[in-house]
Structure 1
Amino acid sequence: MSDSQFSTRVFSGIKPSGGLTLGNYLGAIKRFVDWQERGTDCIFCVVDLHAITVWQEPSELPGMTREVAAGYLAAGIDPEKSILFNQSQVHEHAELAWIFNCVARVGWMNRMTQFKEKAGKNSEKESLGLYAYPSLMAADILLYHATHVPVGEDQKQHVELTRDIAAKFNHDYGTEFFPLTEPVIDGPATRVMNLRDGSKKMSKSGQSDMERINMTDDADTIAKKFKKARTDPEPLPETMEGLKERPEARNLVDIYASLSDRSSAEVLRDYAGAGWGQFKPALAELAVEKLAPVAEEMRRLMDDPAEIDRTLARGAERARAIAAPILAKTYETVGLIRG
């Protein structure tokens, strides 16, 4: 079958390796809700197998997994409309990843910039999982014949690798079994930056809590962090060109745009010439309006971990109903005997 014959299906996942931030919300979860509300077939995952590519304290990982699930739910993911589960409950992910380890080439993995950034000078001491995890990511996506993956710019390379693996598998085995998945990068805040340094991505692991908005922050904390966010002395320009060499300013404008469901250019039309004394309080007010209810709902959900676990288990059953036949056909194609 050609790519046009695959039904539109979205897959994406978030790694539970620390608390959720505004970057996870604007760059991922908010966009996931948009896809769901369009009526698209959506599968969303807490990718806990990816989390253990670096050390995770076993006593803490379940709580972090539940927090990501709570973030999905609090933001509007409906487990009846979409499938929501944690990756380790669907063993087909790991099995297909091994097949793809045998399809992917070492040279492809060596080009993955995220491994180089994460490993740095200590690459020889990092786990094989951290090196090979793009192959698992490809399995996550292709196990469901997903046609689209909403990602930030920093993950585009991994979706391109997924396409390479699908194309090589199809070529090697004389089939058109796997689709060539498309990365979807849209919206004004697909990569939310550090509130103290606009050249760095907002991260759960940053040194200062003031660098990020945590999705569990209360209203006062959200407002305080935006009001204290680093800026420059210049007022806001009239056009996007005027933000080209102003990363902190660009970041705050993009965040405002995403929270208000507008373009950054539209925000500048409203605030051209405004100083930060006007813009940052407006941004803080908007952020509190949009984020505080999500944080409150997350806290409510996390007070009942058993219900989160039941939701994830139900989602895993639905996910396996799709995944198992696709893995079985993959094994048959490769020539593996299954009882």
Structure 2
Amino acid sequence: MLTYPALMAADILAYGTHEVPVGEDQAQHVELTRDLAVRFNRRYGATFVVPRTVHPPVAARVKDLQDPASTMGKSRGRTAGVVHVLDEPEAVRGKVLRAVTDGDPDVSYEPGRRPGVANLLEVLAACGGGEPQRLAGEYGSCGALKEAAAEAVVEMFRPVRARHAELAADPGQVDAVLRAGAERPRVDAAFEAVGLLPRG
């Protein structure tokens, strides 16, 4: 609880991040980061980018497909309600099609009363564009909504999975990129320490 906000701030500031997309639950951490950057810059000169919080219009906090009262996350013990970016398409479809909704067969966007249906509408909106309220009117049943949401998630992740497969096919190149990526911050830090890199 005490170290996580500081670690998050360090990650944001170290990479000169201009925009940080977060849900409402993380906004205070970005505000802490902004305060640290402003205070440091006032004292030592323009060093850090002062980041800006960006709130996605929908699905800033995607809910667990099996427990729509909880946020989807990799730290959860059960994974049936968690979709991973590199999950196979059939695994993604299966998880979305088994998503918890309710006994009401029609589709309406009511996050307080129908969190499971609202979650699927928000996922669909985030993947394909549109607004959850409008999308609710396009589906006559929760089954049709689940099918559409499953396909939207599969298609959104398809290019990421393809690129991952392409990169993973050459482990030597991946290792080289990782080594170069680890070396660059060390070199930058050394040059900045002696004043040979511009700040900011």
Distance across 1 between alignment mates of 2:16 and 2:103:
49
Do the aligned partners of residues 302 and 197 (structure 1) sit closer, same or farther apart at CA in structure 2, a change above 3 Å counting? same
Distance across 2 between alignment mates of 1:143 and 1:327:
14
Tell me, yes or no, if the aligned pair for 2:23 and 2:60 is still in contact at 8 Å. yes
Q: 2:59 aligns with which of 159, 165, 189?
A: 189
Corresponding residue for residue 198 of structure 2: none
Matched residues, number: 194
Do the aligned partners of residues 322 and 233 (structure 1) sit closer, same or farther apart at CA in structure 2, a change above 3 Å counting? farther
Structure 1: which 5+ runs fail to align?
Answer: 1-114, 116-130, 330-339
- What TM-score, normalized to structure 2? 0.79
How much is the aligned-residue C-alpha RMSD, in angstroms? 2.8
Q: How does 1:1-339 map to 2 (within 5 A)?
A: 115=1, 131-171=2-42, 173=43, 175-234=45-104, 235-237=106-108, 240=109, 242-271=110-139, 274-316=140-182
Do the aligned partners of residues 217 and 140 (structure 1) sit closer, same or farther apart at CA in structure 2, a change above 3 Å counting? closer
3-state SS of paired residue (1:307): helix
Tell me, yes or no, if the aligned pair for 2:65 and 2:99 is still in contact at 8 Å. yes
Tell me, yes or no, if the aligned pair for 1:194 and 1:212 is still in contact at 8 Å. yes
1:205 Cα deviation from its structure 2 partner: 2.9
Distance across 2 between alignment mates of 1:278 and 1:144:
42
- Give, as a single letter, the amino acid of the residue that structure 2 aligns with 1:215: V
Structure 2: which 5+ runs fail to align?
Answer: 196-200
Identity of aligned residues (%): 36
Q: For each residue in 1:67-121, what CA deviation from the matched residue of structure 2 results, as whole angstroms up to 9, or x when unmatched? A: xxxxxxxxxxxxxxxxxxxxxxxxxxxxxxxxxxxxxxxxxxxxxxxx2xxxxxx
Q: For each residue in 1:200-239, what CA deviation from the matched residue of structure 2 results, as whole angstroms up to 9, or x when unmatched? A: 11122323221111222222221111111100123222xx
Distance across 2 between alignment mates of 1:226 and 1:178:
41
Do the aligned partners of residues 159 and 324 (structure 1) sit closer, same or farther apart at CA in structure 2, a change above 3 Å counting? farther
3-state SS of paired residue (1:217): coil
Distance across 2 between alignment mates of 1:215 and 1:145:
26
- Give, as a single letter, the amino acid of the residue that structure 2 aligns with 1:205: S
Distance across 2 between alignment mates of 1:294 and 1:166:
33
Do the aligned partners of residues 314 and 152 (structure 1) sit closer, same or farther apart at CA in structure 2, a change above 3 Å counting? farther
Distance across 2 between alignment mates of 1:319 and 1:288:
35
Distance across 2 between alignment mates of 1:327 and 1:253:
50
Tell me, yes or no, if the aligned pair for 2:127 and 2:153 is still in contact at 8 Å. yes
Do the aligned partners of residues 216 and 244 (structure 1) sit closer, same or farther apart at CA in structure 2, a change above 3 Å counting? same
Tell me, yes or no, if the aligned pair for 1:218 and 1:292 is still in contact at 8 Å. no
